[in-house]
Amino acid sequence: MSKKRRFGRVRQLPSGRWQARYQGPDGVDRAAPETFDSKTDAEVWLTLKEAEILNGDWTNPDDGKVPLTDYAKTRIAERPGLRPKTVELYGYLLRKHIAPVLGHLAIADIQPSKVRRWRKQLLDAGVSAVTTAKAYRLLKAVLNTALDDGVIRRNPCRIKGAGQEDSPERPTLSIGQV
């Protein structure tokens, strides 16, 4: 006799693998993103998913499917009080340095390793440390907004000091040079 689960459903597929499904807080029936080798693995996944929902940690997986470029453009446009020059700078950084490598990725698919590789690619391509720091700060700010919106669980921008600019001090003329 099979025992009915309190949360979610598990079924065996013709391939022999196991599928887990649950109803999210939004009322939508959702399948696990992958299938499982065993029924126990599928049930454990459902238990963890239920705990996420009960703890208020659940994120809608559909929200994280938006491409980074689209999300960033919207967030920049929605941010109040930005000066036109700042909006122009953000647009340039997004278009020239972020979008070519990360822009097509869904926000939920951006991992710390991808951010590290992206930053290294910029520096290896000769992009100045100052511009790289500005692009990193913009990416981190956009992903912090995604975190605040509940689109992602954790910001993948975790490189210590990557957003700091070490601009050389501008030379000043002495009295004699003036």
Q: What is the pLDDT of residues 106-123, one digit of tens each?
A: 999 999 999 999 999 999
Listed range (2-6, 35-39, 163-167) with the worst mean pLDDT: 2-6
pLDDT tens, residue by residue, 124-158: 999 999 999 999 999 999 999 999 988 998 999 99
Parallel/antiparallel/unpaired status of strands 18-23 and 29-31: antiparallel
Q: Which domains does the chain have, with CATH numbers?
A: 9-55 (no CATH), 63-148 (1.10.150.130)
The SS3 call for residue 9 is strand
Distances (CA, A) of 35 to 10, 15, 41, 58, 64: 10, 10, 9, 20, 20
